[in-house]
């Protein structure tokens, strides 16, 4: 064991047989993709796999993401094309807009754009291989510690995880940066250097260039030690995930829409409540809230009076409590103020992700064909005071009363499309047909269907946020 003052462990180049054994442990895939930036690490991975190509379980290809952020981006793309041609590896080129949004770091913007493009590339359980290594894992763990990250962050980068329709694998996590450099020198590889890697204004670069070299002087095996710590955290996280999955099944997180029962959540000790909330949020593909926001979510949703409707928002998502259940929603859209004409001869896509309307033929149900024939149809949204006499009921009722009786969540009420025929309210989303327009028994009709989209808080309302690694 290396101790204080001991020499740094020797940099032994990765053994192709060891890499092949790692690949054999991954799920079967119809294609292997190498994320190839043109840098040293990804060039080593590509070269290793190209040498193993005859024995690989699936065809090999490379993918290069052109971010357009560096003045040398075109040069890097040309370099990658030349290397792949020399190795006989097909190359797919992807171009993304990686400009950061206001308040977003350039690192985060580039990373999210890259992973989004790569996720869209993968299909049918294809496997994307990236070249993160042991030193990258150590940097990730230190960054998470310095940011006060939880166990999920402390577990570091997983060796395998889902990405889009496929998998993301990291076969080099057990090898150091020095060992990859030794392999590159031994095979006379040529690679490109990203000038941004020397900018210590970026946290990861600062750790790489200023902090870890000093730590290695005293603790030469610091990367290996941090890698082991990440493994221990990953194992503990696996146990907590199993416990949270049990709690989630009891709390009804598997119900349509993925809502969570407040009573079941409140029956757990506070630590298990937080564990369940983190699991529930992550399982829906949403970013985890910071610790203080998670605690605010827990307390407000459990302690607020029954006449209150708590809403806790972070990172483009929010949690709302309604009728004893918690609902996790993506960014909700404001419904359009102007009416939307509809010719009724096909589906109508609603703006701002509010969903889609369709009419399905029926007999004795829905809107009467005679009401639709020749009518000027328009879709509007609530402004207040609307009334409807639902077919089969006596008297006209306000939409507010009807929504409350039916238990329609508040965020869906103002985003529910209203169908007007010749200026009169005829149907309310997929809920009610107003009596004057309803099909009589045996009469030809059309049933109005509304599929709420992400902007309305319907199914699929959570937009996946890529992990920080």
**Burial per residue of 170-196, b for 16 or more beta-carbon CB atoms within 10 angstroms, e otherwise:** bbbbbbbbbbbbbbbeeeebebbeeee
- Count of domains observed in the chain: 3
Which of 329, 360, 375 is at the close of a domain? Answer: 329
24 plus 158 within the same structural domain? yes
Q: Is residue 226 part of a domain?
A: no
**Burial per residue of 377-416, b for 16 or more beta-carbon CB atoms within 10 angstroms, e otherwise:** bbbbbbeeebebbbbeeeeebebeebbeeeebbebbbbbb
Helix (H, G, I), strand (E, B) or coil at 388: strand
Q: Is residue 6 part of a domain?
A: no
198 plus 52 within the same structural domain? yes
Q: Is residue 61 part of a domain?
A: yes
Give residue 284's domain range.
233-329
pLDDT tens series, the chain, 469 aa: 333 333 344 478 999 999 999 999 999 999 999 999 999 999 999 999 999 998 998 999 999 999 888 889 999 999 999 999 999 999 999 999 888 877 777 778 888 899 999 999 999 899 999 999 999 999 999 999 998 888 888 999 999 999 999 999 999 999 999 999 999 999 999 999 888 888 888 888 999 999 999 999 999 999 999 999 999 999 999 999 999 999 999 998 655 458 899 999 999 999 999 999 999 998 888 888 988 999 999 999 999 998 888 999 998 899 999 999 999 998 889 999 999 999 998 999 999 999 999 999 999 999 999 999 999 999 999 999 999 999 989 999 999 999 999 989 999 999 999 999 999 999 999 899 999 999 999 999 999 999 998 888 865 444 333 333 3
344 plus 440 within the same structural domain? yes
The alpha-helical segments, DSSP class H, found in 167-221 are 177-186, 203-206, 212-218
**Contact, 19 vs 63, CB < 8 A?**
no
Distance between CA atoms of 39 and 80, rounded to whole angstroms? 9
CA distance to 34, 414, 420, 453, per residue, from 386 (Å): 57, 12, 11, 23
160 plus 189 within the same structural domain? yes
275 plus 366 within the same structural domain? no
153 plus 62 within the same structural domain? yes
Distance between CA atoms of 350 and 341, rounded to whole angstroms? 11
321 plus 347 within the same structural domain? no
DSSP states along 403-434: HHHHT--HHHHTTS-EEEETTEEEEETTTEEB
180 plus 93 within the same structural domain? yes
Q: Is residue 335 part of a domain?
A: no
Q: Is residue 465 part of a domain?
A: no
Cβ-in-10-Å burial (0-12, 13-18, 19+) of 11 comes to middle
pLDDT of residue 469: 33
* Tokens standing for residue 312: 């806790």
Cβ atoms within 10 Å, residue 111: 17
pLDDT of residue 254: 59
88 plus 46 within the same structural domain? yes
142 plus 103 within the same structural domain? yes
pLDDT of residue 271: 96
Distance between CA atoms of 335 and 416, rounded to whole angstroms? 9
Instruction: Determine if residue 42 is labeled as part of a ligand binding site.
Output: yes
Rounded to two decimals, the pTM is: 0.74
322 plus 345 within the same structural domain? no
Distance between CA atoms of 215 and 151, rounded to whole angstroms? 23
Q: Is residue 133 part of a domain?
A: yes
**Contact, 34 vs 49, CB < 8 A?**
yes
Which of 220, 252, 280 is at the close of a domain? Answer: 220
Q: Is residue 444 part of a domain?
A: yes
pLDDT of residue 458: 66
Residues 6+ apart with CB under 8 A from 283: 248, 253, 258
Which of 192, 220, 248 is at the close of a domain? Answer: 220
CATH number of the domain encompassing residue 287: 1.20.59.20
pLDDT of residue 185: 96
CATH number of the domain encompassing residue 26: 3.40.50.620
44 plus 187 within the same structural domain? yes
CA distance to 357, 396, 400, per residue, from 453 (Å): 11, 29, 22
- What are the φ and ψ backbone dihedral angles of 305, each rounded to 5 degrees? -60, 160
Instruction: Determine if residue 37 is labeled as part of a ligand binding site.
Output: yes
Q: Inter-axis angle of helices 222-251 and 134-146, to 10 degrees?
A: 60
pLDDT of residue 147: 87
**Nearest one of 330, 345, 331, 359 to 417, comparing CA atoms:** 359
Q: Is residue 143 part of a domain?
A: yes
- Residue position matching structure tokens 């047909």: 433
């Amino acid at each position: 064991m290396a101790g204080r003052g001991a020499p740094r462990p020797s940099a032994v180049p990765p053994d192709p047989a060891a890499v092949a054994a790692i690949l054999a442990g991954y799920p079967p895939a119809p294609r292997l993709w190498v994320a190839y930036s043109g840098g040293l690490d990804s060039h080593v991975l590509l070269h290793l796999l190209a040498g193993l190509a005859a024995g690989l379980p699936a065809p090999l290809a490379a993918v290069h993401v052109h971010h357009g952020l560096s003045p040398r981006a075109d040069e890097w793309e040309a370099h990658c094309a030349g290397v792949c041609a020399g190795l006989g590896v097909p190359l797919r080129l992807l171009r993304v807009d990686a400009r950061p949004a206001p308040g977003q770091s350039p690192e985060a913007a580039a990373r999210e754009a890259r992973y989004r493009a790569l996720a869209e590339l993968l299909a049918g359980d294809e496997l994307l291989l990236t070249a993160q290594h042991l030193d990258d894992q150590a940097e990730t763990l230190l960054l998470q510690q310095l940011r006060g990250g939880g166990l999920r962050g402390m577990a570091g980068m997983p060796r395998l995880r889902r990405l889009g329709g496929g998998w993301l694998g990291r076969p080099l996590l057990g090898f150091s940066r020095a060992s990859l450099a030794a392999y590159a020198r031994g095979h006379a590889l040529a690679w490109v250097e990203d000038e941004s890697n020397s900018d210590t204004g970026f946290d990861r670069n600062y750790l790489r260039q200023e902090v870890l070299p000093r730590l290695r002087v005293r603790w030469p095996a610091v990367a290996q030690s941090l890698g082991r710590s990440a493994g221990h955290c990953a194992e503990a996280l696996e146990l907590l995930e199993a416990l949270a999955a049990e709690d989630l099944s009891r709390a009804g997180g598997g119900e349509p829409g993925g809502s969570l029962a407040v009573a079941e959540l409140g029956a757990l000790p506070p630590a298990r409540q937080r564990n369940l909330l983190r699991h529930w949020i992550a399982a829906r593909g949403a970013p985890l809230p910071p610790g203080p926001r998670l605690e605010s979510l827990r307390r407000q949703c459990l302690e607020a009076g029954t006449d209150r409707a708590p809403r806790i928002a972070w990172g483009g998502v929010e949690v709302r409590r309604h009728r004893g259940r918690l609902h996790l929603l993506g960014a909700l859209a404001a419904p359009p103020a102007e009416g939307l004409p509809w010719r009724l001869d096909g589906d109508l896509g609603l703006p701002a992700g509010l969903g889609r309307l369709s009419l399905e033929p029926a007999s004795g149900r829905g809107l009467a064909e005679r009401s639709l024939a020749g009518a000027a149809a328009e879709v509007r949204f609530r402004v207040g005071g609307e009334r409807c006499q639902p077919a089969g009921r006596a008297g006209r009722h306000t939409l507010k009363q009807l929504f409350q009786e039916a238990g329609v969540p508040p965020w869906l009420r103002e985003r529910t499309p209203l169908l007007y025929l010749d200026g009169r309210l005829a149907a309310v989303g997929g809920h009610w047909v107003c009596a004057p327009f309803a099909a009589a028994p045996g009469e030809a009709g059309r049933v109005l269907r509304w599929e709420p989209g992400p902007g309305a808080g319907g199914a699929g309302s959570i937009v996946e946020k890529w992990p920080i690694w």
